[in-house]
Chain A
Amino acid sequence: MAAKYAYYPGCSLHSTGSEYDVSFRAVCEKLGIQIDEIKGWVCCGTSPAHCTSRLLSLALPYENLLLVERMGATDVVAPCASCFSRLKTAVHEAAEDPDIAGQIREVLDAPLPESVNVLSPLEIFNDGTPIAEAVTKQWPGLKVVCYYGCLLTRPSKVMQFDECEYPMAMDELLASLGIATLDWSYKTDCCGGALAVTRTDVVLKLTHDILEEAVAVGANAIAVACPLCHVNLDTRQTEVEQEYGTQYGLPVFYFTQLMGLAFGIPPAKLGLQKHFVSADALLSGVRED
């Protein structure tokens, strides 16, 4: 049974998080999962929308859900944790509040789709897909902490995704590929997200706390499922090191890149060369051919 999904990449996966897009596509192809990018998708609005207009923040996601419906699809997969959360929030709020649902309809001039499921890639891979069978390469030296960040699981009443304070979906997925994951207490702590642009100091502090804890439990890599988390942990890692006089050199992978490595997909095809913190030394040290 070939699974089929509409694919909402969102803005980050077309730019700062293009490795997530590339590796997600590569992994889906390997597993025979068909993903069709929504034609003409628009930005979900993310924080700038919900901080300034509730209606705008719900109408933008719904425009995309309408496009999904017009494709004849019922399931849409949104890898970016922020898009995932905005799409689910829109569905939740329209269902809870008929008044706002009416306003969204008025803005979009169309009846709202009723049966579109918004999914995270973690859900589609954990949905009985025989992933372990695709594994061709072992990485026994990898010790990964899974960092879920804020928006995959919160707020729980909207997201209904895993256990909100201590999720395991990513850990279980990686474990099923033979990649070791570690327990740690910063799985769902905030990295500061978009505050990086305006209050870099706050993001450096929060990111420092996360990196410190990862190193303290003995991790040699971090796995993420959000392009904003990736920017803060990878792109700004050198800045954190300078600010706090530390030295981490801790590679940060999208979990889809780790899946790809286990499936034997070459690193260049997974966008690993785009990372600021190189994973080359780590990977050549822990590979088993």
Chain B
Amino acid sequence: MEKEAGKMIQSCPTTQAQSQLAEAVLRESGQNVNLCYQCRKCAAGCPISYVMDYKPAQLIHAIRLGMDDLVLNSKTVWLCASCETCTTRCPQEVDVAKVMDAVKITALRRGVKPAIPQVASFYNAALANIKKCGRMYELGMIVGFKLRTFEFFKDVGLGMKMFRKGKLRMVPSLGGALTTLRIFRRVKNVEKKNRNA
């Protein structure tokens, strides 16, 4: 039934004339933001909305309207904790959390500076770590993160205590390191090929 409704809406003229940004989001995530009817359930349940510059429902609407600058420079997408509350509750089955990811990916691809640079640095540090070690090596990741953000003293006490409790490893386990190197490389190639296709 819901699938049927989705199809009906997809074939109506307003969605055929959709913004380029909405199309980019659709390509990246399979999500059609034009299904949104602004009930704002996603915003109401979002635990992070109180610090966002635009509530999830507003961001969805701005994508529909093709407000690229506002959307790609918003803090909202970088603050999203991927808790999936919005996605679970949306009556129109818009996967809002996936839209958040698609916007981040689009922003990075277009070279837009992330509105919360620390979050992007954290992702970069973590990914570099996984690529090299095969698994997340927390100590290495934290050092990488601090080198990227220059926040050397944040959480140092906490880190020391975790270390004393035996919660952080001294050396990375390199099981799977070659595998992740290969996967990262091949993902890049496949993505590039598809973009040029």
Residues of A within 8 A of B (CB): 11-12, 14-16, 18, 39-43, 45-56, 59-60, 63, 97, 103, 106-109, 150-151, 154-156, 164, 189-190, 192-195, 197-200, 202, 206, 235-236, 239, 273-274, 276
Q: Nearest residue in B to A227 (C-beta to C-beta)?
A: B167
Contact of B101 among A39, A54, A97, A154 (CB under 8 A): A54
Q: Mark B117-142, 1 if CB is under 8 A from A, else 0.
A: 01100111011001000111010000
Chain B 69-107 interface residues, beta-carbon cutoff 8 Å to A: 79, 81-85, 87-88, 95, 97, 101, 104-105
9 closest cross-chain pairs (CB), A and B:
A154-B84, A11-B136, A190-B83, A42-B176, A48-B126, A48-B123, A150-B83, A190-B47, A198-B118
Known: A103-B194, A107-B186. A18 touches B130 (CB 8 A): no
Q: Are A15 and B138 in contact (CB under 8 A)?
A: yes
- Segment touching A, from B32-40, B57-65, B158-166: B158-166
Measured CA separation A164–B184 after assembly (Å) = 33
Known: A15-B167, A42-B135, A198-B119. A47 touches B82 (CB 8 A): yes
Known: A155-B88, A197-B145. A51 touches B82 (CB 8 A): yes
A-chain residues with CB within 8 Å of residue B145 when the two chains form the complex: 197
Contact of A56 among B30, B135, B187 (CB under 8 A): B187
A-chain residues with CB within 8 Å of residue B175 when the two chains form the complex: 39-42
| B20 beta carbon closer than 8 Å to chain A | no
Known: A42-B179, A55-B187, A197-B145. A154 touches B167 (CB 8 A): no
A-chain residues with CB within 8 Å of residue B183 when the two chains form the complex: 42, 56, 59-60, 63, 107-108
B-chain residues with CB within 8 Å of residue A12 when the two chains form the complex: 136
Number of CB contacts from chain A to chain B under 8 A: 164
Known: A43-B136, A59-B183. A197 touches B88 (CB 8 A): no
B-chain residues with CB within 8 Å of residue A200 when the two chains form the complex: 154-155
B-chain residues with CB within 8 Å of residue A52 when the two chains form the complex: 104-105, 108, 123, 127
Q: Are B165 and A51 in contact (CB under 8 A)?
A: no
Contact of B169 among A15, A45, A273 (CB under 8 A): A15
Chain B residues touching A, range: 35 or more
Q: Nearest Cβ in chain A — how far from B113, in angstroms?
A: 15
A-chain residues with CB within 8 Å of residue B161 when the two chains form the complex: 235, 276
B-chain residues with CB within 8 Å of residue A97 when the two chains form the complex: 30
Contact of B83 among A43, A103, A193, A197 (CB under 8 A): A193
Measured CA separation A60–B180 after assembly (Å) = 8
Known: A51-B82, A154-B83. A16 touches B162 (CB 8 A): yes
Q: Nearest residue in B to A206 (C-beta to C-beta)?
A: B47
Give 12 A-B pairs besides A156-B88, A192-B48 with Cβ atoms closer than 8 angstroms.
A16-B138, A16-B162, A48-B123, A53-B187, A60-B130, A60-B183, A103-B194, A154-B85, A197-B155, A202-B48, A206-B47, A235-B158
Contact of A54 among B28, B118, B126 (CB under 8 A): B28
Q: Are A106 and B186 in contact (CB under 8 A)?
A: yes
Q: Are A43 and B180 in contact (CB under 8 A)?
A: yes
Q: Are A195 and B88 in contact (CB under 8 A)?
A: no
B-chain residues with CB within 8 Å of residue A59 when the two chains form the complex: 183, 186-187
Measured CA separation A29–B108 after assembly (Å) = 47
Q: Nearest residue in B to A196 (C-beta to C-beta)?
A: B155
B-chain residues with CB within 8 Å of residue A63 when the two chains form the complex: 179, 183
Contact of A14 among B97, B101, B169, B179 (CB under 8 A): B169
Q: Nearest Cβ in chain B — how far from A208, in angstroms?
A: 12
Known: A40-B176, A54-B101, A107-B190. A150 touches B85 (CB 8 A): yes
A-chain residues with CB within 8 Å of residue B85 when the two chains form the complex: 150, 154, 190
Q: Nearest Cβ in chain B — how far from A159, in angstroms?
A: 9
